[in-house]
Each structure stands twice: as C-alpha cells, then as structure tokens.
Amino acid sequence: MNNQTTKWSQFGTLITVFFFWGFVAASNDILIPVFKHAFQLSQTKSQWVTLAFYLPYTIGAIIYFLVSKTIGGDLLNKIGYKNGICYGLLISTLGALIFYPAANNASYGLMLTALFVVGLGFSLQQIAANPLAIVMGDPKSGSQRLSMAGGINNFGTTIGPLIVSYAIFGSVTGESDKASIDSVKIPYLILGAAFLLVALFFRFSSVPNKIAPGQTETAEEAFESEVTQTTTPPNL
C-alpha cells in the first residue's frame, strides 16, 4: 500500500507552469483589440490570435505522438519529464522574444507566429507536467493535486489580463486605440525572461526527471479519473 506523502517543495515548483498557462491564455484576449486597431483587421482576422495560440496544443500533441512512434518509445521517457518542461519553457521563451522583431516590423503574421511558438512550448509542458503532478506523492491523491494545480491555473487566468492590460495600456481599463504595437514589446520581453528563469529554476530543482513504468500507469488512471469527474454531469 502506498502511503507516500506529497512532496510539496517539488509540487510548488511544478505549479508555476500551471500559472503561466492560465496567465498567458487569458492575456491573449487583450491583444485582439490592439491588433485589430493597429493592423485594421476585420473581426474574423483579429480572432486568428486565439487560433494561433490554441492550435499548437493539437499540433504539438501530434508531433509528440509521431516522434515517440519514430524513436520506438515515449519521448519523455527518453529525455525526462523535468527536461521536457525545461525544453517547453525554452520554446515558449523563443516565442515571447519573437514579439520584439514582430513589433519592430509591424508584422501581424510574425505576431501570430510568436503566439504559435509560445503555445507549442505550452503543449510540451502540459504533456510532461500533468503526470508529474500525480506522482509527486500518493498516486491515489494525484487527482487532488491536479485540481489544486488547476486552481493555480485559474488564478493566472484571473490576474493575467489585469497585469497585461496595465502593461500595454497603462491601466486595467485601457482603450485599444491608445496602444501602439510597440507597447507589446516590453511585456513580452519580460514574459520571455520569466520563462527562461523558470526553465533554469526547473533544471536545478529537485523535481523528478523520470517516472517509473508503474507510476506512469497509475498517473494515466488518475488523470482519466479526474477528467471523468470534471466532465460527468451531476445526477438529477
């Protein structure tokens, strides 16, 4: 019987990426009116911001599957789960830094590319982080840790738009027609620096890099249980 207690120091490090996912995803909505005004976009074209960010989650998962098939085993079992998060953070760092030349050249296409690369990094981070959250303690309570991590994600979702709006507009209720494309450069440079610092922090942290085969199976079962609990409607 597994009575392993939760490794709170490791878990506390891990949930920083859950915070980033919520923070950035919600903050992207701030960019839509800015881009729409600056590039004179139609409503449809301005919504490409959302597509550019969320499409990589699917594409990243497909790439991960194909690479794993090609090398004859799960990619994260080869490179390590902690390393997977670090690589994902570095990919997102690159995406955030692309905003700088995109703003300098007033290129909407390059802006969308930047969002795509950030999302691609998040895809790899999520594939690695969810199993780690489950095995950082008794696997039977893994779904509870996932729920707690989800709460941190929601916190990022709540404060992200407020902080980014203030950084771009100078207030949390700024108007898009008063913000230039250049105003996104500094916030995303800071975000890129944050991604890089967290990647370095992860690299030298005690977060485990490997998950035993038995733990992987238990993690999958706990994750499926969590998904079932959150998607099954209550009995009437």
Pick the residue with more confidence: 116 or 11?
116
Q: What is the pLDDT of residue 30?
A: 85
Say how far apart CA 90 and CA 3 lie, in whole Å.
35
Q: What are 168's two structure tokens?
A: 């771009």
Q: What are 226's two structure tokens?
A: 């969590």
User: Which of 143, 152, 149 shows the shortest CA–CA distance to 230?
Assistant: 143
pLDDT surpassing 70 at residue 231: no
pLDDT band at residue 236 under the 50/70/90 scheme:
very low
Please work out, in degrees rounded to the nearest 5, the angle formed at the alpha carbon of residue 168 by the alpha carbons of 199 and 14. Answer: 20
pLDDT surpassing 60 at residue 99: yes
Say how far apart CA 36 and CA 42 lie, in whole Å.
7
Q: What is the pLDDT of residue 89?
A: 96
Residues 122, 88 contacting (CB under 8 angstroms): yes
Q: What is the pLDDT of residue 230?
A: 38
Q: What are 36's two structure tokens?
A: 């729409």
Q: What is the pLDDT of residue 134?
A: 84
Mean pLDDT estimate for the chain = 84
Stated pTM of the model: 0.84
Q: What is the pLDDT of residue 164?
A: 85
**Could you give all domains of the chain from N- to C-terminal order, each with its CATH number?**
8-223 (1.20.1250.20)
Q: What is each CA distance from 36 to 45, 108, 111, in whole angstroms?
A: 8, 10, 12
Q: 171: helix, coil or strand?
A: coil
Please, what is the end-to-end C-alpha distance for the chain in angstroms? 36
Sequence length of the chain is 236
Taking only the tens place, the pLDDT of each residue in 178-208 is 667 888 888 899 999 999 999 999 999 888 8
